[in-house]
Structure formats: structure tokens, C-alpha cells
Amino acid sequence: MIFQVVLSIVAIIAGGIASIAGFGIGSFVTPLLAFKTGIGVAVAGISIAHFSGTALRFFVLRRHINKKILLSFGLTSAAGGLVGALLHSVLYNIILVIIFSCLLIIAGIMELTGLSEKIRFSGAASWAAGAMSGFFGGLVGNQGGIRSAAMLGYELKKKEFVATATGIALMVDVARIPVYI
């Protein structure tokens, strides 16, 4: 019972953060859920909740999407998400836990040091970062931070950035969820 209460509180807080920052559900809820269910079930379960929230945000923001970036960066992210999801089903849980832990530590250090605000990807590096963000989204459920850092190189307006990032997240979810099911 205590676990469900804590999980609910963390999920509500993560949802609030995600609605502002564009990422957070996977970063906060997945590790907590993995503690109880294992990383495989946690990533699969969170991906469904992530899809629901992302689909709603996509519907609201759809007019502001940059279609060129959605198709180029988004397709590489979706392809990466599919590959990550396929590997998710064959890798051992401990490997996923280590990868996920390292990603969270790196993301935390980058945020605390301000490095995440200074990173700008462009050209092929941006596409590679898109594929990486999708890959980690499929593998361990954590994609938002990498995607956001990669997309900063495009210098989009705020609404355009959030809408396009949302569309890309939705593409990754559509690519990875069928593999989990």
C-alpha cells in the first residue's frame, strides 16, 4: 500500500514536470516502478502512460510542429526507438539497470553543471543524437533529455520546440510500444 501511494505521488509530480519541461515521466517513475517490478515491466508500463500524455500534448500543440524537423529528426529517433525496444527484450535486466543508472547520473550532472544548456547539436550530429535519444527511449525508457539537448541546435521558437519534441516523442512511442506488447 505504501509503495502505491509513493508511486502515485511521484507520478503526479513527474507528470507536472513533464508538462512543463517536456520530459520527466520516464526519468522519475521508471526507476521507482523498476524497484518493484523489474526494469523490463517498468519500461513497458511507463511507455503506455508516456504515450497517453504525449498524444494529448501532441493534439493540443499540433499546429506549431516544424514538419521538416519532425520528419528528419523524428524518423531517426523512431528508428532508434525501434532498435532499442528490440534490444530491450533480449538484454538482461542488470544490464538495463546499469545503462539506465548511468544515463540518469549523466543527465543529473549535466543539469547541475549547466552543461545541458550549452550543448548544441547540428547537422549529422543532430540526427545521431535523435537516433540515440530514440534508442535509449526504446531500451530503457529515457529519451527526453537527449532529445531536448539535440533539438536546441535547431533554434526553434518555444511553442515550435515543444510541439516538435512532442511529435517526435510520439513517433518513438509508436515505434517501441508494439515491441513491448
DSSP symbols for 83-119: HHHHHHTTS-HHHHHHHHHHHHHHHHHHHHHTHHHH-
Quote the domain boundaries for residue 131.
2-180
What is the average pLDDT score of the chain?
Answer: 83
pLDDT at 82: 94
pTM, 2 dp: 0.75
Q: Which of 48, 92, 91, 69 is nearest to 147 (CA)?
A: 69
Residue 119 backbone phi and psi in degrees, to 5:
-75, 130
Residue 92 backbone phi and psi in degrees, to 5:
-75, 150
3-29, pLDDT tens digit by residue? 888 888 888 888 777 767 656 777 778
More confident residue, 86 or 123: 86
Cα gap 46→126, rounded to integer Å: 26
107-126, pLDDT tens digit by residue? 767 767 877 677 777 778 87
Number of structural domains the chain divides into: 1
Query: CA 96: distance to chain centroid?
Result: 15
Cα gap 148→125, rounded to integer Å: 14
Contact in structure between 121 and 65 (CB atoms under 8 Å): no
